[in-house]
Amino acid sequence: MTETVESREFQAETKALLALVTHSLYTDSEIFLRELISNASDALDRLRFESLTNSEMLEGDDRFEILLEIDKEGRKVTVSDSGIGMSREEAIANLGTIAKSGTGELRELLGGKGSAAHAAELIGRFGVGFYSSFMVADRVTVRTRRAGTIGGIEWESDGGGSYSIRDYEKTQRGTSITLHLKPADPENGMPDFADRWRISSIVKKHSDYITYPILLKPETKPGEEKTQEAPLNSMKPLWKRPASEVKPEEYAEFYRHISNDMSEPLRTIHFRAEGTFEYEALLYVPSTAPLDLYYVGAERGLRLFSKRVMIMERCEDLIPPYLRFIQGVVDASDLPLNISRQRLQQDHHITRIRKRITTKVLDLLTELFENDRETYLKLWAEFGRAIKEGASDWENKDRIVPLLLYASSNDPEKLTSFKEYVSRMKPEQEQIFYLTGESRGVIENSPHLEAVRQKGYEVLYMSEPVDELVLQYLNEFESKKLKSVGKGAIELGTEDEKKEAQKELEGKQEEFKPLTEFLQKTLGESIKEVRLSARLTTSPACLVVGEHEFSPMLERALRSQGAPKTKRVLEINPNHALIQRMRERLSGNAEDAFLPDAAEVLLGLSQLAEGSELSDPVKFNRSASEVLSKAI
C-alpha cells in the first residue's frame, strides 16, 4: 500500500503542556503506566460494547486483553491492547490535540508554584493521561488500527513541538504504545521502568481492579521454551467484592481510574441490592468539583454494567441531575447486554436503581450535615449549587431543602440552614426573610435591609442564580412563609408595632402627595408607582417589585433571553433629608428646574443600589452634574 508520511505541529496548548510534563514533573512518574492501562481498558470496553450489535468488529478474535512487553536492553516498554483502536483522524484528534475546556487553566496550574507536588493530580483531573508518557520517555511510538478497518497508522513524537504520522501495516486490531525510556536516575526521581518487578508492582498497586487480564510477556532466552503469560491483576471488580474485604486505598485507586481525578474521594458508598432484582453499586462523592460540572453540554452519569460488561459509559438515568457530581459504577445482572438507550430509559429496573441510589446519597449527605459539619461544608463549597437544584425534585424535596445552606445577616462567617434560621426567629416573627442579589456585597448593602436590620430580624442572602430556581419550588419551611424584603409591602414587629407604623405612614401620605405625584409624572416611563416606604431608614429611595413578580436578578437573566423589562415601584423615605428638601422645594416652586434632575438622580441611585444597570446612563450623568452644580 502507498505510504503517507505527514509531519504535524502540536496544538499550542499541547506544546506548553508537554514542555512542562517533559522537563519538570517527576513527582509520581509511575502514573504513566496506570494512565496507559486505563486507556487500554477503555478501548476494550468500547470494542466489547460495539461488538454486541456488530460481531464483525471482533474479526474472529474474541480475546480482550492488555499485554505489557519489556525490552530491558533496548530500554523500551510497550503497552498493547486488543481494543477498538483508532483511525488516522482519531489518532490526530486524540493524540495531537487536547480538545478539553480548561486547558489554559491546567497550563497555569502546572506552571505555577507547587506544580511538581500536584502533577499527578492535575494530569488525571484534566484528562490528559496519555501525555504522562513523556515524563518517562524520550520518544513515544503509537501503532494502531481501528477494528473493522484495513491497515493502520503509526504516530510518533519526542514530546517537542511536532509529531509524525504515517500509514503502517498492522495486522491486529487495537493499539500498541511503545515508550523509549529515559535513562534511569533514581536520585532525581526517575526509577528504572525497564525492571520487570517494578512494572509488575505498579500494575498490582494501581490496576488490580481492571476487568481485563493484564499480561506481562515472559522473558525468554534462545533455546528456552516460551512460557504462558499469567495475569498480573486479579480482574475481580471492586464492586463485586464484599465491602469488608476492600481496602481504602483500593477504593481510592479505583476512583482515580473511573474519574480521572487524582485527589482522594470525600466519601465512598458501596452496597448490594438483593431480591427479585439484584445489582451492585460503588459510588463516590468527589472532594473537588470537575471543571465542567455546570456546563450544559457536559456528559453526566454513572457507568452501567451487566454481568461485568460495560453497556453504557455515561448513564444519565441512574442519578438525578442535581447529584451529577457523583461518580461510580452500577452492575445490574438482569439487564440485557444489547439494551438500547431508549429502552433503558423506560426500564423499570433503572427507575428502581435511581431511587435507591438517590436515597443512599441523600442518607450520606444528611449524616454528614448532622454529624460532620466540617466535611459537609467542604462538600457544599464544591457542589452546593448543584444540590440546590434538587429543590425541584418533589419526591425528595423534604430531604433536600433541610440540607441547603446560606449566608445570612446573623453571622458573617457562618452559613446557616433553614431549620437553624427558624430556631433563631423572634417570637412575633411569622416569615423567613431573604433577599436575592448579584453578590453578597450587593445584598448586604441593599437599602431593602435597613428597617429589617434595625428591628433585629435575620435575613438570608441568596446570591446565586440557582437560588431563583429554589424559590420557585419553595414557598415555606416548617409552616413559615418565605418573604423577600425586596418584594411587595413589608410589615415588621408585633401587631401593635405594625399598626403604629401603618398609622404613621398614612399620616404622611397627604403631606407627601404632591411629591409622589410629581415623581410619578416625571419618571412615569421608568416606574410603575411611587409610594412612601416602611422599609427604609437611612436611604432616600429604593425600587421594589410586586410580591409575585420577578426579582431584579431573575429579570436580568430573563432579559438576556429576550424577555421584556418590567416596571417597578419607587419607594421614598419620608424621613430622609433629601426627600424632605425635595418636598419643600416643590411646595415653594413647582417649576423648580432642580427637581426633575433630582428625580432622575433618585431613580439612578435606586437602580445602582440593587445592582442593576442604569436605564439611561447619559441622562443620569447629565442630571447628576446639574444637581451637583446647583448644590455647590
pLDDT above 60 (res 25):
no
* Mean pLDDT value of segment 603-609: 89
Percent of the chain beyond pLDDT 90?
48
pLDDT at 144: 96
| Rounded CA separation 139/208 (Å) | 27
Pairing of strands 327-332, 302-306: parallel
pLDDT at 565: 78
Among 149, 2, 17, 165, smallest CA distance to 92 is for 165
Any idea how long the chain is? 632
pLDDT at 421: 97
pLDDT at 126: 42
Reported as a pLDDT band with limits 50, 70 and 90, residue 474 is very high
Helix or strand run (H / E) with residue 408: strand 407-408
pLDDT above 70 (res 332):
yes
Reported as a pLDDT band with limits 50, 70 and 90, residue 224 is low
Residue showing cell 497555569: 108
Reported as a pLDDT band with limits 50, 70 and 90, residue 210 is confident
Task: State the pTM of this model.
Answer: 0.74
pLDDT at 269: 97
pLDDT at 225: 64
Reported as a pLDDT band with limits 50, 70 and 90, residue 466 is very high
Reported as a pLDDT band with limits 50, 70 and 90, residue 506 is confident
Query: Whole-number mean pLDDT of the chain?
Result: 86
Residue showing cell 515472559: 218
pLDDT at 116: 40
Read off φ and ψ for residue 86, nearest 5 degrees. Answer: -135, 145
pLDDT above 60 (res 247):
yes
CA-CA-CA-CA dihedral for 9, 11, 12, 17, to nearest 10: -110
Instruction: Tell which wins on pLDDT, 49 or 67.
Output: 67
Amino acid (one-letter) located at 165: I
pLDDT at 27: 53
Question: Does residue 18 contact residue 131 with C-beta atoms inside 8 Å?
Answer: yes
pLDDT above 70 (res 420):
yes
471 burial via Cβ count (<10 Å: 0-12, 13-18, 19+): middle
pLDDT above 70 (res 627):
yes
3-state SS class at 416: strand
* Mean pLDDT value of segment 525-540: 90
3-state SS class at 80: strand
How wide is the angle at C-alpha 556 spanned by C-alphas 619 and 603, nearest 5°? 30
pLDDT above 80 (res 317):
yes
Q: What pLDDT, in 10s, does the model give residues 372-409?
A: 999 999 999 999 999 999 999 999 999 999 999 999 99
Q: What is the DSSP string of 263-321?
A: SPPSEEEEEEE-SSS-EEEEEEE-SS--TTTT-TT----EEEEETTEEEEEEEGGGS-G
Cell numbers at 475, concatenated: 414557598
| Rounded CA separation 249/240 (Å) | 17
Instruction: Tell which wins on pLDDT, 298 or 139.
Output: 139
> How many of the other CB atoms lie within 10 Å of CB of 134?
25
- Give CA separation, 510 vs 157, 504, 577, 589, in Å: 85, 12, 18, 18
Radius of gyration, CA atoms only, the chain? 33
Q: What pLDDT, in 10s, does the model give residues 29-45?
A: 887 898 899 889 989 98
| Rounded CA separation 500/496 (Å) | 6
Helix or strand run (H / E) with residue 65: none
- Give CA separation, 606 vs 447, 484, 538, 543, in Å: 9, 17, 13, 6
Sheet of strand 137-145: strand arrangement: 5-9, 162-168, 152-157, 137-145, 174-181, 76-81, 66-71, 214-216
Cell numbers at 605, concatenated: 441611585
